[in-house]
Structure 1
């Protein structure tokens, strides 16, 4: 699979929202459908404001390829990382994570406590739990685990 990581364009936003929803529905079983709808509106508002938003594109042999995942980060804080759930386990999330971590600096991320798949993904990539919050970033009652991966020595 040929995978390219590039900066997202505004024209990618509808696809990113589709990926976000499919991924959340596949992994966030603790959310009611009304919660998913609510967060989808929030994410739709965030996408145009994100400074470093990157997409993973699988070369389909045609001119454009298919966007299969995305990541956003700001100064080492991963704000979003979502991959098409039909492509989980193919290394796409890892490639996105390493793309933003290429400088070897510290990385931080919050994951929902009720999403053991996400926590396991990050722990397998060197992240450790450094804290917990009862409420999510929107003040809703979905506890977050705060994870961090220490800075790595330059190769």
Structure 2
């Protein structure tokens, strides 16, 4: 099931984010990982997220979309490969049929995931959104 996040779910959302980043972002320096963690803890719990939840309404994954741009998609590592991330993306596409996103170039699994979902590369940036040396691939969904 997919639903909006609720007040009080911030700790679980941060837990999902940390687990997913630790499982997929091994290219981050320890210093950058800590700095990003501080930044994320400051905004993510209050952000208007879409959650993928289990039959007990327990969050397993989340997605943040801002004006048709998917800013974040993170899945609890214990639930990767179950289809919850794809379900969130499909939900986002019902709301924003030409949705865009950025993905770290070093995150090969994520790049392949988005390509399988129908996203195509529209550009590249040598740095991330905070000016760090982590190249981004810009993607857009084409049906």
TM-score normalised by L of structure 1 = 0.86
Deviation at 1:42, TM superposition (A): 1.0
Q: 1:5-154 maps to which residues of 2 (within 5 A)? A: 5-48=2-45, 50=47, 52-60=48-56, 65-103=57-95, 105-150=97-142, 152=143
Measure the CA separation in 2 of the matches of 1:45 and 1:12.
14
- Larger proportion of helix: 2
Deviation at 1:73, TM superposition (A): 0.1
Q: Could you say what secondary structure the match of 2:49 adopts?
A: strand
The list of structure 1 runs, each at least 4 consecutive aligned residues, that deviate by more than 3 angstroms after superposition, is none
- After superposition, the C-alpha distances for 1:79-123 in whole angstroms (9 at most, x for unaligned) are 000001111110000011111111462010000010001101100
- CA RMSD in angstroms, aligned pairs only: 1.4
Q: Could you say what secondary structure the match of 2:33 adopts?
A: helix
Measure the CA separation in 1 of the matches of 2:134 and 2:34.
15
Shift in alpha-carbon separation, 1:105–1:18, aligned structure 2, 3 A: same
Kindly tell me the number of residue pairs found equivalent between the two proteins.
143
Deviation at 1:75, TM superposition (A): 1.9
Measure the CA separation in 1 of the matches of 2:34 and 2:13.
15
Gaps of 5+ in 1: none
Gaps of 5+ in 2: none
Q: Could you say what secondary structure the match of 1:26 adopts?
A: helix
